[in-house]
Amino acid sequence: MAFVTAEDWATTVIRLCLGGDALLGIALAAFAPRLRPGAPDQVTRMVRLTALVAALWAACLALAWPPSVPFYQLAAAISGFVALVLVLVLVRLLLRLPPVLTAEESVRDLLTGALSRSGLIQGYRQLPSTTPVSVALIDVNGLKLMNDVQGHNTGDLFLHSIAQALMSALPAGSLIGRWGGDEFVTLTPYTSSEIVMDTLKAALRDTPGARPGLPAFAFGVTETHTPEPLERSIAVADERMYTFKQRQREVQVMQGSGVGPESLDEFARQLDLLSTPDELLPLGLSLSLQFVGFEAAAYYGRIDGSFRLLNFSGSSELRDLHGQLQTHLNNGQGTTGEAVTTRQTTWSADYQNDPRSVPEWREAGLKSVLTTPVYDATRLVGVLCLTSFNTWHAVTPQRRYLLERLAQRIGYSLERTRMHDSDPWHPSEERGQT
């Protein structure tokens, strides 16, 4: 009866390992493109060639095992193991390659769904020669300030909404591309500039702006023929767009709707022009909502030692809810009450899951809140509060700066009023102690 020796077992195991190595290398060589679709061709070719060489070497070793000379046996075993490790490393590297854009994705702006700049140029070049094309440059109003104050997620959603509005409004066959951060360029073949202008004006009327009273975008339109340089037409459209933007601002002034601040510094300068609480509170709360994007703004004055809702900007339903907040302020509860006890700005971007939240406001659906105290000299005299119930907002440093600047101006105006007379806006802690 023949016995299987340990050496025979070792030979069988080594052959099986080398055979598996060969099959794995062949499989990798065959299916490498499917492991990472869209990977550069040169990378895929390198992986396939290396895997195939390793597979052939492992197959030769498996068929010729064991070598007759012990030294070669050891060297062959080491080289076979190295080949197996090499194949596994190649598989890992291929899977860890960063995502590569497909041909379709390379000509698309992933954020808005419009064409990318290169995709738009490519589309223009593919139009038949002497094709008449209306070229429009669209500049989005208020995007930078929206990004700074309300966060880039809000700005991205707004930019996407503009792109969708343009796609819905313009005629079939139009090419719509994102030209820059807040600029779009549209190409409409076989259509006059007058028709394109009328279409964009209609889209502008139907598209909400970055804040109330501010048009969503401005545009300029010109005409060209392929293969004239596209950049020249865009320069002309850009010039007309700035003329249109200036006309938008002039119309706002003539209608008395006012032109909202374009930056936080301009917001601060507008506040500096207001001197009394009666002027500051209504306008300041309204401007805060326009900038920050929350749904309600409230000012609670401290009168006779307790807080009362003195001024509010928002819907009547939310005003009733904010009337209930007075209790939490007086008791130092929740994030709003914490602003009173710590005398610092407090906030919560996710109120529902905040351990400082109170049940009444969670049940009301409060999602984000920002609160800051108001001082007359060194005395706490009031609290400003911004709330959002429909969606969550990141409480950025710019949002906090805006509300703190408003609180500073209100406190300064209250101090000036107190120095001249006993204005009812000025709370008196001393009266509460007598």
pLDDT over 90 at 132, yes or no: yes
Share of the chain above pLDDT 90, in %: 31
pLDDT over 90 at 159, yes or no: yes
The confidence band for 237, taking pLDDT boundaries of 50, 70 and 90, is very high
Q: What is the per-residue pLDDT across 272-296, written as a single tens digit (0 to 9) for each?
A: 777 788 888 888 888 777 777 788 9
Q: Is residue 287 part of a domain?
A: yes
Q: Read off the pLDDT of each residue in 316-324 and give the average, rounded to a whole number.
A: 84
Q: Based on the domain organization, do 281 and 302 belong to the same domain?
A: yes
The span from the CA of 53 to the CA of 82, in Å, is: 12
The count of domains in the chain is: 3
Q: Based on the domain organization, do 274 and 322 belong to the same domain?
A: yes
Q: What is the per-residue pLDDT across 361-377, written as a single tens digit (0 to 9) for each?
A: 888 899 999 999 999 88
Q: Based on the domain organization, do 112 and 85 belong to the same domain?
A: no
Structure tokens at 166: 């343009």
CB 274 within 8 A of CB 280: yes
Q: Is residue 100 part of a domain?
A: no
Q: Based on the domain organization, do 83 and 166 belong to the same domain?
A: no
DSSP structural state of residue 109: -
Q: Based on the domain organization, do 220 and 268 belong to the same domain?
A: no
The confidence band for 96, taking pLDDT boundaries of 50, 70 and 90, is low
The span from the CA of 52 to the CA of 22, in Å, is: 8
Q: Is residue 101 part of a domain?
A: no
The confidence band for 63, taking pLDDT boundaries of 50, 70 and 90, is low
Whole domain around residue 58: which residue ranges?
6-95
The span from the CA of 295 to the CA of 271, in Å, is: 21
Q: Lowest-confidence range among 100-109, 243-252, 330-339?
A: 100-109
Q: Which of 209, 233, 255 is the last residue of a domain?
A: 255
Q: Which of 73-77, 84-88, 376-380: highest mean pLDDT? A: 376-380
Q: Is residue 174 part of a domain?
A: yes
Select the more confidently predicted residue: 58 or 228.
228
Q: What is the per-residue pLDDT across 323-351, written as a single tens digit (0 to 9) for each?
A: 877 777 888 888 888 998 899 999 998 99
CATH number at residue 405: 3.30.450.40
CATH number at residue 151: 3.30.70.270
CB 296 within 8 A of CB 384: no
pLDDT over 80 at 300, yes or no: yes
Task: Give the per-residue pLDDT at 186.
Answer: 97
Other residues' Cβ atoms within 10 Å of the Cβ of residue 208: 13
Q: State the sign of the Cα–Cα–Cα–Cα dihedral 266, 258, 154, 201.
A: negative
Q: Read off the pLDDT of each residue in 314-330 and give the average, rounded to a whole number.
A: 82
Q: Is residue 318 part of a domain?
A: yes
pTM score? 0.52
Q: Which of 95, 128, 146 is the last residue of a domain?
A: 95
Task: Give the per-residue pLDDT at 66.
Answer: 63
CB 214 within 8 A of CB 142: yes
Select the more confidently predicted residue: 91 or 364.
364
CB 140 within 8 A of CB 159: yes
Task: Give the per-residue pLDDT at 376.
Answer: 87
Q: Is residue 289 part of a domain?
A: yes
Q: Based on the domain organization, do 180 and 303 belong to the same domain?
A: no
Q: Read off the pLDDT of each residue in 29-39 and give the average, rounded to a whole number.
A: 59
Instruction: Quote the mean pLDDT of the chain.
Output: 79
Q: Based on the domain organization, do 75 and 172 belong to the same domain?
A: no
Q: Based on the domain organization, do 268 and 415 belong to the same domain?
A: yes
Q: Based on the domain organization, do 131 and 244 belong to the same domain?
A: yes
Q: Are strands 175-178 and 183-189 parallel, antiparallel or unpaired?
A: antiparallel
Q: Is residue 311 part of a domain?
A: yes
Structure tokens at 73: 């046996």
Q: Is residue 421 part of a domain?
A: yes
Q: Based on the domain organization, do 143 and 251 belong to the same domain?
A: yes
Task: Give the per-residue pLDDT at 175.
Answer: 94
Q: Read off the pLDDT of each residue in 158-171 and give the average, rounded to a whole number.
A: 94
Other residues' Cβ atoms within 10 Å of the Cβ of residue 175: 22
**How far, rounded to the nearest angstrom, does the alpha carbon of residue 369 sit from its chain's CA centroid?**
20
Q: Based on the domain organization, do 118 and 64 belong to the same domain?
A: no
pLDDT over 50 at 420, yes or no: yes
Q: Based on the domain organization, do 142 and 168 belong to the same domain?
A: yes
Q: Which of 95, 115, 147 is the last residue of a domain?
A: 95
Q: Is 137 exposed, middle or buried (0-12, 13-18, 19+ CB in 10 A)?
A: buried
Q: 81: part of which helix (H) or strand (E)? A: helix 70-95
